Amino acid sequence: MKKYILCCTILLAGLLAGCSMENKVPDPELHTDETNTKEVRELVPIANEMSTPNSVVSLPLPTYLDENKYEGDELGIVKALNHYMKACYEKDYDALNDLMSKGTEKITTGGFKKYFISFDKLDFSVKPDPTPPEGTKPVVVEFKTKIYDHKEEVEEDKQLFLFRLEDGLWKFVATADWW
């Protein structure tokens, strides 16, 4: 009988304690399901996609080109490259698409697997073969990139970037591995 009374007392105490707690609805801003975790990662570009939602990996910041070293068309292209680097680092689709030439396919989602750490050398004198479309300016760019979900891996590469002047701004047309 004592066990029965003790069990009833514990059960009653548990019920009273549960009822006395405020009925709180989870705040949707703080909810951490898969969808919201992805949104947080988009806002914090250095979040590691392979780890827990709250872990952050220290990634190197991009080093932008010194715009004071360029003038004329070269300056306009350097500004476009710096904006391109910033848009990739921040995973900003709108900013990236603003840099795209008319008729270039827009980037929507899933396009940010790595970002540029630096543009190390620009060659504005390149004469690609085959010749790029008329009205485009070819530039060979040596760069370093960092893959978001790898802690140590940095890649070095060189590519031909094509730009076109549209409405007074240099816009990105394409990249190629030939020149």
pLDDT at residue 96 in the model? 86
| Cis status, amide bond into 138, omega within 30 of 0 | no
pLDDT at residue 110 in the model? 66
* Neighbouring residues of 87: CB distance < 8 A, sequence distance ≥ 6: 93, 95, 96, 99
CA distance 134 to 60: 37
Tens-level pLDDT at each residue, the chain (179 residues): 555 444 444 544 444 434 444 443 333 333 333 333 332 223 333 333 333 344 455 667 888 999 999 999 999 999 999 998 898 888 888 898 899 898 877 777 666 667 788 888 999 998 888 888 888 999 999 888 877 666 667 778 888 999 999 999 999 998 888 76
Q: Max alpha carbon distance in the chain (Å)? A: 97
Domains and CATH numbers, the chain: 24-58 (no CATH), 67-176 (3.10.450.50)
pLDDT at residue 80 in the model? 96
pLDDT at residue 137 in the model? 94
pLDDT at residue 43 in the model? 30
Could you tell me the pTM of the whole model?
0.62
- Report the side by side order of strands in the sheet with 154-166: 114-123, 136-147, 154-166, 169-176
